[in-house]
A and B are shown apart, each in its own frame.
Chain A
Amino acid sequence: MGVPFKDILVYLDGSESSMTAVMYAIKLAKENDAKLTAVFVVNTKALSELVKAGIFVAIERDEYQRDLQSDADRYLRHAAKLALQKHVEIETVKLEGTVHVVVRQLLKEKQADLLILGGITDIRSRREELASETDRLLRTSPCPVLVVRDDDDIWLEFEA
C-alpha cells in the first residue's frame, strides 16, 4: 500500500457520478503514474433476488441479464475511451455477483492502494436495505477510498 498511489481501482455503475469518478481517476493515475483499473459489476445478485421475489419471470431474467452485460460493455468501453483521450493506460474488468463482495475481492487480488467511488448518497433513511452498493463499497473496502463528488468542474477540466 503506497503513497503516492500506484494501483488505483475505480468502480463504475453507469451513473453520471461514477463517470465523474472515472474522469477523476484518470487524471489522478496520470499525475501519479499509477496503474488504473475500471471495474463494472453485472449485479447478478439483484437479478436472483428479483426472480426469487417473483418480480421477474424466467424470460425476463434472461433478457435483463443480456441488457446488464451490454450496459457493462458499453460503460467500460466509454471508460477506456476517456483514458485513451488522456493517454492513460487502463485495464477494464467486468465481474458478476454481489457488487461489494466481488469488488472487495478484486481490490485484494490486485493489492490496490486506492478505490475511487462516485455517487455516495446522503444519509436519508436509517433503513439498512436502502443503502446503495456504492455505500456498501465505501464501508467494506480493504484499502483507502476516495469519494468524488459529482462536480461539473471535473467534467469541464477533463474536457479542457
Chain B
Amino acid sequence: MNLLDVLDKDLVKVPLTRSDKQGIITELVEVVAKAKGYTTVQYEAVLDAVLDRESLGSTGIGNGIAIPHAKTDVMDHVTMVVGISRFPVDFASPDGQKSRIFFLVLAPSSEASAHVELLASIARTCTSQVFRRMLEQSKDREEVVRLFME
C-alpha cells in the first residue's frame, strides 16, 4: 500500500478555507463525508475519532505538514484526504512551523497493515523540500494529483 493506491481527486481540496486546527480537521472530514455520502451520525463518528486521536498528541509533524489520522469502522477501506491551505495553520508541530499541507488518513481497525504502510508512504514522500513547496503552491486538485503522479 502506498499513497498512489488511495489518491483520489474527489478527496483532494485546494484551498482549504478554515484557519485553525479544529476547523481544518472538520473541513477534511467534511470532504470525505460528502464524497462518500455519509450520514450525520457517520460524519460525527469519524470526526470524533480524529479529534480523540489528536487529543493524544498533535499530528503536526513539522516542515509544514500535518497528518491527522484515526481508526474508525465507519470506513470500509483505508482512505486519504489531501488538503492544501493558502494560510499557515498552527498544528503544534515540533519544529514550531505552521502547516499548509494536510493528509487525513482513516482506516478500519481490520486494515492495520495498510494503514501503517500508507502513513509511512506519506512521510517518505514529503521528505523533499522541493516537493513540499510545489504542493503548497498548487492551484487546484488536478495539480496536486499531477504532482504525485509525476
Name A's B-contacting residues (CB within 8 A). 13-15, 43, 45-47, 49-50, 53-57, 59-60, 64, 67-68, 70-72, 121, 124-127, 129-133
Please tell me if B10 contacts chain A, counting CB pairs below 8 Å: no
Report A20 CB to chain B, min CB distance, Å. Answer: 16
Pick the residue among B57, B62, B117, B125 that contacts A133 (CB under 8 A): B117
Report A9 CB to chain B, min CB distance, Å. Answer: 19
Whether A14 touches B56, Cβ cut-off 8 Å, given contacts A43-B116, A46-B117, A55-B69, is: no
Question: B interface, how many residues as a size bin?
Answer: 20 to 34
Please tell me if B8 contacts chain A, counting CB pairs below 8 Å: no
Question: In the complex, A25 Cα to B127 Cα: how many Å?
Answer: 38
Name B's A-contacting residues (CB within 8 A). 1-5, 53, 56-57, 59, 61-62, 67, 69, 94, 109-117, 119-121, 123-125, 127, 148-150
Q: What is the interface of chain B mostly: helix, strand, loop, or mixed?
A: helix
Report A36 CB to chain B, min CB distance, Å. Answer: 22
Q: Do A14 and B5 touch (CB < 8 A)?
A: no
